[in-house]
Chain A
Amino acid sequence: MFTGLGDERVYEYCRGKGIPIMLEIPFSTRIAELYSKGIPLLKKCLSGKKV
């Protein structure tokens, strides 16, 4: 789920339905730039570099 934008609607929905939120990804130009080059987000994160 992308976070930092919008309101609580998705959180409320998931809570109501008992759906766990596994990962929250912030709205970030840096991530979008990585994606544009075809670099998976997790690859950068796991390599220890902060996004």
Chain B
Amino acid sequence: MKQITVLSGKGGTGKTTIVASFTVLAGKCVVADCDVDAPDLHLLLNPQVQEEDFRGSKLATIDSEKCIRCGLCKKSCRFNAISDEFKVNPFACECCGVCTIVCPKKAIELKDRISGQVYTSKTLYGYMVYALLYPGESNSGKLVSLVRQKARTLSARKKSDIVLIDGAPGIGCPVIASVTGADAGLIVTEPTVSGVHDLVRALELLAHFNILPMVLINKYDLNVEKSEEIIEFCHNMNVNVVGKIPFDRLVTEAMVNGRPIVEYAPESSVAKELRRIWDKVHSIVKEGG
């Protein structure tokens, strides 16, 4: 089983658009939407949910019957999560448990709460795992890990040899969770000042975790000069640029219609290039051993 994570650093470069098309092209694969803060891939792949699960976390809960309002918990809480009325602010509480230790009346307990939903589903093209983090909840990295674990299990059960992972923008916790242990990281970049800036950061992240990097330049003709700079930069870093895709209104049109571009406009130059790129990515990852 090979795991390929699509990431970008900068948001809006086209990760989900590309993953949706790769899913169609890969045939029998499991796709995992690891952008749990703002998952969108399911809007393009129309999955039928087969299994629903949730990820829980903890929340300090004060029993007002037992509470003597001594204020020790409030004083000890470094997250200022306990109010003057001795109520816990669920968004501020990091469930460290210090309040349960200092409370002389044992009036505080860490109780379970649900922080996000995980869905295992079937699409026209294979299987898909995705999740929705509830607004205001933290720890999206842990939810990503759960999505990936479910995707791997599903992939083994269905004997698919590819797990495609749609990552979140950025290079923080949820992105780290979506690249760790992957066989390759495909960075989707664009020839813009911010795109290049964040490409460098994403490459550093992959190098740090010793993950094989690949680069795809999306909307390359918006700034041909900058695209050339990216190609040269990658060449010097010994990073494979697997292809470049033109800026095309059709891509946005396909998105508005909620369909992967390779299916919406299979004869378009974008779709042709995507097919070529997928074959290349697939063979590089397979050769990786």
- A residues near B, CB below 8 A? 5-7, 27, 29, 32-33, 35-38
- B residues near A, CB below 8 A? 190-195, 219, 222-223, 226, 247, 249, 252-253, 256
A38-B193 contact, Cβ under 8 Å, with A32-B222, A32-B247:
yes
Evaluate contact between B223 and A33: CB separation under 8 angstroms: yes
Instruction: State the total of A-B contacts with C-beta under 8 angstroms.
Output: 30
A27-B249 contact, Cβ under 8 Å, with A32-B222, A36-B191:
yes
Cβ contact of B223, chosen from A5, A27, A37, cutoff 8 A: A37
Evaluate contact between B222 and A36: CB separation under 8 angstroms: yes
Measured between C-beta atoms, what is the minimum distance from B186 to chain A in Å? Answer: 21
Measured between C-beta atoms, what is the minimum distance from B244 to chain A in Å? Answer: 14
Evaluate contact between B226 and A36: CB separation under 8 angstroms: yes
Evaluate contact between A37 and B253: CB separation under 8 angstroms: no
A35-B252 contact, Cβ under 8 Å, with A29-B222, A29-B247:
no
Evaluate contact between A36 and B190: CB separation under 8 angstroms: yes
Residues of A within 8 A of B190 (CB): 36
Measured CA separation A13–B256 after assembly (Å): 16
Measured CA separation A32–B218 after assembly (Å): 13
Measured CA separation A32–B253 after assembly (Å): 16
Evaluate contact between A32 and B219: CB separation under 8 angstroms: yes
Measured between C-beta atoms, what is the minimum distance from B189 to chain A in Å? Answer: 12
Evaluate contact between B223 and A6: CB separation under 8 angstroms: no
Residues of B within 8 A of A7 (CB): 256
Top 8 A-B residue pairs of the complex, sorted by shortest distance between their CB atoms = A38-B193, A36-B223, A36-B192, A6-B256, A36-B222, A32-B222, A33-B222, A5-B252
Residues of A within 8 A of B191 (CB): 36
Cβ contact of A37, chosen from B193, B247, B249, cutoff 8 A: B193
Measured CA separation A29–B249 after assembly (Å): 9
6 residue pairs of the A-B complex, CB under 8 angstroms, read A5-B252, A33-B222, A33-B223, A36-B222, A37-B192, A38-B193
